[in-house]
Chain A
Amino acid sequence: KQEVTQIPAALSVPEGENLVLNCSFTDSAIYNLQWFRQDPGKGLTSLLLIQSSQREQTSGRLNASLDKSSGRSTLYIAASQPGDSATYLCAVIIQGAQKLVFGQGTRLTINP
């Protein structure tokens, strides 16, 4: 059974810092990995999608990497801003099943 773990569960940093969020998964047989952002009381917003054949994706200040063999992904946020405060969720799509399996998320707080 695929399990997804995100570390840390919560992170608080001052504005302007670069930071890394971690995601690990137990079964490397995945189609792709997707990072989402969730603001309190809101839905999920897709940030980055990395296909299994790719090693990284970038969007603005965000960069996500994928190492299938080790079962790990990282989300790098450069020059953090208070508006980045949210919960960040990592999810993998299982091969042959087409369903997303989510981690528990990292709750990020950026302090002005």
Chain B
Amino acid sequence: DAGVIQSPRHEVTEMGQEVTLRCKPISGHNSLFWYRQTMMRGLELLIYFNNNVPIDDSGMPEDRFSAKMPNASFSTLKIQPSEPRDSAVYFCASSLARGTSYGYTFGSGTRLTVV
């Protein structure tokens, strides 16, 4: 089991550019989560999917952010246009919901720097 795989590990981009972050969840997991971590706000949930369907996107900061899950093995988080305040570490996590036994596995994260 390779775990949750995120790419790229680091991304440096100029303000106004489009950024796409990618995630491959653990095979067989049916829930996928995108989190953002900053020093000021800690870990915040941006959006999560169940069976590839977005369930709660109330944490997405604004229309510049969008997320897709075209199939059970791939998800993207896109920022367009990017701004310096988007600089953070973005984590993807997946889970297999077995009744109330939810355990989450996190990827290694993508460190985004917008200059």
Contacts and interface: CB of A to CB of B under 8 A. Distances in A.
Contacts of A104: 42
A93 interface: yes
Interface stretch (B43-51, B63-71, B77-85): B43-51
A53 B99 CA distance: 13
Nearest to A89: B43
B42 A102 contact: yes
B75 interface: no
Given A98-B31, A99-B45, A100-B33, A52 B106 contact: no
Interface residues of B, number: 24
A98 B48 contact: yes
A41 B111 CA distance: 9
Contacts of A36: 106
Contacts of A49: 101, 103
Contacts of A51: 100-101
B102 A98 contact: yes
B109 A46 contact: no
Interface of A: 31-32, 34, 36, 41-46, 49, 51-53, 89, 91, 93, 97-105
Interface of B: 31, 33, 42-43, 45, 48, 50, 55-56, 91, 93, 95, 97, 100-109, 111
